Amino acid sequence: MSEPVLQVKNLKVYYYVEAGAVKAVDDVSFTLDFGVKMGLVGESGSGKSTMAFALMRMIKPPGKIESGQMILDGIDLLKLSEEKMRQTRLRKLAMIPQGAMNALNPVMRIDKQLIDGMLDHGVIMSKEEREARVAQLLEMVDLPPKVAKMYPHELSGGMQQRVTVAQSISMEPDVIIADEPTSALDVVIQRQVMETINRLQQRLGLSIILIGHDMGLMAQSVDRLAVMYAGKMMEIGETHAMFRDPLHPYTRLLIESLPVLENKGVFSGIPGITPSLLNPPEGCVFHTRCPKAWNLCQEATPEFVEIKPGRWVACHLHTA
């Protein structure tokens, strides 16, 4: 049995707006094992990005982490002081942001941006050591050494995203949270960046949470898959098993909504729209769009249970 590096238990993140509390993450639990890459998928508004920011403890008002536990290497992140948490970011837990162009400082050279975080976290390095570290980081993300002296605008989108990847690994954290790192990139570049992340994962033994909405990219890149909908976790399992035999009707629809080579011209979407998180439906949050819903689904919220080792699902079809 592999060791969990991160355990999230009953996490709730709410945004308080005039009309009430928006339950962006509502009682979510999952475990990430050492060296595993887990995908977290969902449509817009499913709570996946809130989840990412919650793990970094970077939820800003009116958002608030209501309750729950986030245990990283045996330490509950929610119990840490602000300063301790700041030290933990980058050192143990780092994030690759969604839009690299907005994450880099436009007036700072790349070399400085790469080691800025290390210096801030109290790493003492001589000039030579800094240069060596910059060169090493660039090499790790397949960027040429000359990038060190360049500014962000001189780099292509894919190269900028590689710089943010290099930043995230600068202190060799245990866990990396990648929030749609390739959603702004073309297929070829997307694949190159993902392959770089894969290599780094093996080289450094990283555990990764890859957030996104593209099931195709997930099929290609992750070991395990977690599906969120309207703030709730719907299903978690090993990627192959999830694609071969999706248990939750939502997971099935997500997979079927994607075009594959064999079904040219078949357009099957998911009917209906995501519910308002201010007033989520009673019972199962997905019942308003679910083709398999029955009366129990409108009345009771299904429990999120492990129905076989490593496979979790919240659906009355499988638990009632």
Partner 1 sequence: MSTPLLELRKVTKIFGGKRDYTVALDDMTLVLEEYFPKIIAVVGESGSGKTTTGMLLLGFYGPTMGQVLFRGRPLHELKGAELFRFRREVQAVFQDPFAVYNPFYKVDNLLSIPIKNFKLARSKAEARELMEDALERVGLRPEETLGRYPHQLSGGQRQRIAVARALLLKPKFLITDEPVSMVDASLRSTILKSLRALNQEFGVPILYITHDLTTAYHISDYIIILYHGSVMEAGNVDSIIRKPNHPYTKLLVSSIPWPDPDLPWGGTEEMIQKSQVAFKAITGCKFAPRCPYKMDICETKAPELFMPERDRVVACYLYRDHTVLPREELSSVFAQA
- 209-247: b (≥16 Cβ within 10 Å) or e: bbbbbbbebbbebbebbbbbbbbbbbbbbbbeebeeebb
Q: In what order do the strands lie in the sheet with 207-212?
A: 93-96, 175-179, 207-212, 37-41, 224-229, 232-238, 311-313, 305-308
Distance of CA 293 to the CA centre of its chain: 29
| Chain residues in the site for partner 1 (CB under 8 A) | 43-44, 142, 144, 156-157, 159, 186-192, 195, 213-221, 239-240, 243, 253-255, 257-261, 264-270, 273-274
Residue with Cβ nearer partner 1 (116 or 142): 142
Query: What is the number of other CB atoms lying within 10 angstroms of the CB of residue 69?
Result: 14
Residue with Cβ nearer partner 1 (75 or 273): 273
Residue with Cβ nearer partner 1 (33 or 214): 214
To partner 1, the closest distance from the beta carbon of 117 in angstroms equals 26
Alpha-carbon radius of gyration of the chain = 20
To partner 1, the closest distance from the beta carbon of 305 in angstroms equals 24
To partner 1, the closest distance from the beta carbon of 82 in angstroms equals 34
- Tell me the residue type at 149: K
Residue with Cβ nearer partner 1 (8 or 253): 253
Q: Do the beta carbons of residue 313 and residue 247 sit within 8 Å? A: yes
To partner 1, the closest distance from the beta carbon of 269 in angstroms equals 4
Which of 199, 141, 135 shows the shortest CA–CA distance to 165?
Answer: 141
To partner 1, the closest distance from the beta carbon of 274 in angstroms equals 7
Residue with Cβ nearer partner 1 (172 or 186): 186
Residue with Cβ nearer partner 1 (117 or 157): 157
To partner 1, the closest distance from the beta carbon of 182 in angstroms equals 10
Residues in the chain: 320
